[in-house]
């Protein structure tokens, strides 16, 4: 069967509308009018056209941008990473999504590889399409396994926009839909005494982003995450660590929790697991928790969770970050950014190549966003703390690209 040729690199991709105005009007009319208005107000009416490596072009102006937002880490390996694209192309010659009711070698292989990244501690995996769905499963499983209902999370955290995931997140995302679900409580991040007070024998699980992204990447205080894990063990609650944005090498280790001396019962991954090519997410769990599905084998299903081309993409991602020099380079490049951004008029929050620029102005992240986009770098403000600009360059930046980014940031903020 004939296949369409790949679009050539560094050229504008064809668009369904002939102009930016038509595109924006159609988006506002049929997709999200409020988002279209916000983009116009912020000067962010960008439409992604050709994209490759660390850059994308605006489809209508042709201007090139360095992507230091990376869609929350989806593009950790850059846009259209050749190894992932080639692997998925080859997979599509033989595979489709598969049948979620049947046994799948591809799902088994990916689960096996994910278990290896945790040293075998989290030996089971349930697959999802996106991070929010993976969070849903984790919270359901925590309640099912413990027989308890209480869920404790961090104020200003973000875990997705569906049901239980939404209930564990910031009120700004759920108040429009009515009262929150019962059984959910929130405490300030980094306040271990508040957490100890909220977590008791009625708590099924504590769920935390290891470094809360939408809250502007406040770094966990030394010993905080380990103390959370200790409190969970004291009362028989589970610890769920959301590594959707911090996992898969972004902080210099495969998972950030590995730097903190904590042993979670479940870890959530997504975004970068897809290689930016085929959606896939996962809930990693201990063998004890996986046993829940021995008694309840069909209690949770996902038609497209663990779609087989997505498994192929994710295996290629894991192959890439498992290269001996990969994580070492992430750490080294992160150090270079840290040195280069020292002395600029913001507080630098950084672990590896997860970075936040915190300004004194409570809305400084939005002003910084406008300025850096105008200079040719896409980065966005943290919605739950708009004093912070999230800054996440792709992990595959070359030395020359690092110096280009450094020069732009220093010119804009120096």
Domains of the chain listed by start with CATH number: 88-321 (3.40.640.10)
Instruction: Return d(Cα 412, Cα 414) in angstroms, integer.
Output: 6
> Is 1 a residue whose pLDDT tops 60?
no
Instruction: Return d(Cα 391, Cα 410) in angstroms, integer.
Output: 14
Instruction: Return d(Cα 193, Cα 174) in angstroms, integer.
Output: 26
pLDDT in tens, 247-298: 999 999 999 999 999 999 999 999 999 999 999 999 999 999 999 999 999 9
Instruction: Return d(Cα 269, Cα 43) in angstroms, integer.
Output: 32
> Is 6 a residue whose pLDDT tops 80?
no
The two three-digit tokens of residue 170, written as one number: 């910031």
Instruction: Return d(Cα 122, Cα 112) in angstroms, integer.
Output: 10
Q: Is 341 helix (H, G, I), strand (E, B) or coil?
A: helix
So what's the pLDDT on residue 143? 98
Instruction: Return d(Cα 126, Cα 96) in angstroms, integer.
Output: 19
- Res. 11 pLDDT band, cuts 50 70 90: very low
pLDDT in tens, 352-368: 999 999 999 999 999 99
Bridge partners of residue 117, in order along the sequence? none
pLDDT in tens, 311-328: 999 999 999 999 889 999
The proportion of the chain whose per-residue pLDDT surpasses 70, expressed as a percent, equals 97
Average of per-residue pLDDT values in the chain: 95
Q: What are phi and psi of 382, to 5 degrees?
A: -80, 120
The gap between the terminal CA atoms of the chain, to the nearest Å, is 56
- Res. 43 pLDDT band, cuts 50 70 90: confident
Are the C-beta atoms of residues 263 and 121 closer than 8 Å to each other?
A: yes
Using CA atoms, how far residue 385 sits from 186, 194, 196, 360, in Å, is 17, 20, 25, 12
Bridge partners of residue 347, in order along the sequence? 358
3-state helix vs strand vs coil in the chain, percent to 5: 40, 15, 40
Tally of CA atoms within 13 A in the half-sphere of 369 that contains its CB: 22
Angle between helices 105-117 and 308-321 (to 10 degrees): 30
Per-residue burial over 61-90, b if 16 or more Cβ lie within 10 Å, else e, is: eeeebbbbbbbbbbbbbbbbbeebbebbee
Question: Taking the model in full, what pTM does it have?
Answer: 0.95
> Is 73 a residue whose pLDDT tops 50?
yes
Cα 265-221-181 angle, rounded to 5 deg? 50
Q: How many whole angstroms from its chain centre is CA 217?
A: 12
Mean pLDDT of 146-164: 96
pLDDT in tens, 219-244: 999 999 999 999 999 999 999 999 99
So what's the pLDDT on residue 13? 57
pLDDT in tens, 358-394: 999 999 999 999 999 999 999 999 999 999 999 999 9
């Amino acid at each position: 069967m004939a296949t369409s040729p790949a679009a050539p690199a560094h050229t504008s991709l064809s668009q369904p509308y002939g102009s930016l105005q038509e595109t924006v009007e159609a988006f506002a009319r049929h997709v999200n009018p409020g988002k279209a208005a916000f983009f116009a107000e912020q000067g962010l009416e960008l439409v992604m056209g050709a994209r490759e490596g660390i850059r994308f072009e605006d489809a209508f102006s042709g201007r090139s941008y360095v992507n230091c937002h990376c869609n929350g880490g989806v593009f950790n390996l850059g846009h259209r990473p050749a190894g992932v694209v080639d692997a998925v192309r080859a997979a599509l010659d033989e595979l489709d999504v598969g049948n979620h009711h049947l046994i799948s070698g591809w799902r088994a292989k990916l689960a096996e590889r994910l278990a290896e990244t945790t040293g075998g501690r989290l030996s089971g995996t349930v697959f999802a399409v996106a991070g929010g769905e993976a969070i849903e499963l984790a919270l359901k499983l925590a309640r099912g396994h413990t027989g308890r209902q209480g869920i404790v999370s961090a104020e200003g955290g973000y875990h997705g926009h569906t049901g239980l995931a939404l209930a564990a997140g910031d009120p700004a995302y759920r108040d429009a839909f009515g009262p929150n679900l019962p059984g959910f409580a929130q405490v300030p991040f980094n306040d271990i005494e508040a957490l100890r007070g909220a977590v008791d024998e009625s708590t099924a699980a504590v769920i935390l982003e290891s470094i809360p992204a939408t809250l502007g990447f406040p770094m966990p205080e030394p010993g905080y995450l380990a103390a959370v894990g200790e409190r969970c063990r004291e009362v028989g609650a589970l610890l769920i660590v959301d590594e959707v944005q911090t996992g898969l090498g972004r902080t210099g280790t495969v998972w950030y929790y590995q730097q903190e001396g904590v042993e979670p019962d479940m870890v959530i991954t997504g975004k970068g697991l897809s290689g930016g090519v085929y959606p896939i997410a996962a809930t990693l769990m201990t063998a004890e928790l996986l046993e829940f599905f021995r008694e309840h084998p069909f209690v949770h299903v996902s038609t497209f969770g663990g779609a087989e081309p997505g498994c192929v993409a994710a295996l290629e991602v894991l192959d890439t970050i498992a290269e001996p020099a990969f994580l070492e380079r992430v750490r080294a490049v992160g150090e270079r950014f840290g040195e280069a951004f020292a002395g600029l008029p913001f507080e630098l929050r950084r672990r590896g190549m997860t970075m936040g620029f915190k300004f004194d102005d409570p809305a400084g992240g939005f002003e910084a966003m406008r300025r850096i986009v105008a200079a040719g770098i896409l980065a966005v403000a943290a919605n739950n703390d708009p004093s912070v600009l999230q800054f996440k360059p792709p992990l595959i930046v070359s030395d020359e690209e690092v110096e280009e980014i450094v020069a732009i940031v220093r010119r804009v903020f120096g």
